[in-house]
Amino acid sequence: MLMKAIELLKNDDLVGMPTETVYGIAGSIYSEVALKKIFKIKERPFFDPLIIHVSNIEEAKILVKHWPKSADVLTDKFWPGPLTLVLEKSNLVNDLITSGLSTVAIRMPNHPIALNLIKNFGSPLAAPSANKFKKTSPTTYQHVKDEFLDDVYVLDGGSCIVGLESTILYLNENENFLEVEVLRKGFIKYSEIEKILIENGFKLKSAKLENSINVPGNMKNHYMPKKPFVILTDGKGLEELKINFSTYVEMILSHSPDIAARQLYSHLRISSQGKEDIIIFKKMSWHTGELWEAILDRLLKAASEIC
């Protein structure tokens, strides 16, 4: 399986790759043909940048103009894992990957199949989530097969153990302070990031970016299931919906945010498969905390209506 995937990548083709977060659709960062295929098969606009996946720190360092000390601290703690760093890119990074931006997003996935694939292929891979643009992310082999049928060769790595896309963090380090900004909430909490940086002597300052850096998953509508998805906030009832429907299915997630993150995309997909007209999710007062904020961020962007 691994050798077939490597051969496909060498021939400018794409491979479905499991990670701990979601499955990605991977292509060589040095193949413009493969990069264009990613955008085409996902029906993804070129203004939406891709995340580069590496198998070691040295691969990451050559892709940026400067690798700051703060990046060493964070990668030592959180890599491999669901943390993506955004830094100024080097000339090795194709503008297709960054959508013409001066920054590049890089992470090291915490999955043996992904790491072995990148290592044995011999260079980093660009790998956005293996689903059509704005649709529900895939967390199993079957999700990817359902999305692309036989158009993409997929490595089966079981169910994703995290189930939620990586935290994306912008870094800009200078002599006096470290500018940081969470560009996408994820499984790695900002409180954890802040703690390790302060412990290592960094003075933190919000980046307050004048021009917002575009990152995956930050559009108003994203992660959307095949059926209308409605979020009811505390005290709101079905009679307040503006959508015409006669039947519905309620999507239930675990009270534990760690488990709920793993359930999220599978439950959205399963809920879409029934005969019901709409899917509802009841947002409750106890949906609090950093990880729930990341989960709710996905749910809000997947919703057709919120009331």
Contact yes or no for 55/109 (Cβ under 8 A):
no
Report how far apart, in Å, the C-alpha atoms of 237 and of each of 231, 248, 283, 307 are. 10, 13, 12, 9
Nearest residue to 130 via CA among 43, 54, 225, 47: 43
Token pair 């499991």 is found at 18
Indicate whether 211 pLDDT > 70.
no
Question: What's the token pair of residue 223?
Answer: 């992660």
Q: How confident is the model at residue 206 (pLDDT cuts 50, 70, 90)?
A: confident
The percentage of residues in the chain with a pLDDT greater than 90, rounded to a whole number, is 85
Question: What is the distance between the alpha carbons of residues 52 and 60, in angstroms, rounded to a whole number?
Answer: 9
What's the token pair of residue 182?
């969470």
Residue 199, CA distances (Å) to 167, 194, 202, 295 in order: 20, 8, 7, 28
Among 73-87, 105-119, 213-227, the range scoring the smallest mean pLDDT is: 213-227
- The answer to whether residues 124 and 118 touch, using CB atoms and an 8 Å cutoff, is yes
The pLDDT score that the predictor gives to residue 210 is: 53
Q: How many CB atoms lie within 10 A of CB 90?
A: 14
3-class DSSP state for residue 228? coil
Q: If pLDDT is split at 50, 70 and 90, which confidence band does 216 have?
A: confident
pLDDT the model gives residue 212: 59
Q: Output the six-digit token pair for 290.
A: 């950093």
* 15-to-12, 18, 64 alpha-carbon distances in Å: 10, 10, 25
Segment 145-169 mean pLDDT: 97
Scan for tokens 């209506």, then name that residue. 305
Task: Report whether 171 contacts 68 (CB < 8 A).
Answer: yes
Q: Using one digit for the tens of pLDDT, what is the confidence trace for 237-294?
A: 788 787 888 899 999 999 999 999 999 999 999 999 989 999 999 999 999 999 999 9
pLDDT of residue 207: 75
Mean pLDDT of the chain: 94
Q: Is the dihedral of CA 183, 133, 142, 257 positive or negative?
A: positive
pLDDT tens column, 8-59 = 999 999 999 999 999 999 999 999 999 999 999 999 999 999 999 999 999 9
Q: Look at residue 140 and tell me whether its pLDDT is greater than 80.
A: yes
Q: Where are the alpha helices (DSSP H) in the chain?
A: 2-10, 32-42, 57-61, 69-78, 95-98, 112-121, 141-148, 190-199, 257-272, 290-302
Note whether 9 and 27 are within 8 A (CB).
yes
Average pLDDT of the segment spanning 169-175: 91
Identify the pLDDT of residue 175: 80
- Domains along the sequence of the chain with CATH: 2-206 (3.90.870.10), 229-306 (no CATH)
Sign of dihedral through CA atoms 274, 278, 282, 283? positive
Question: Are the beta carbons of 123 and 59 closer than 8 angstroms?
Answer: yes
Task: Determine phi and psi for 175, rounding to 5 degrees.
Answer: -65, -30
Rounded to whole angstroms, the Cα distance separating 202 from 49 reads 29
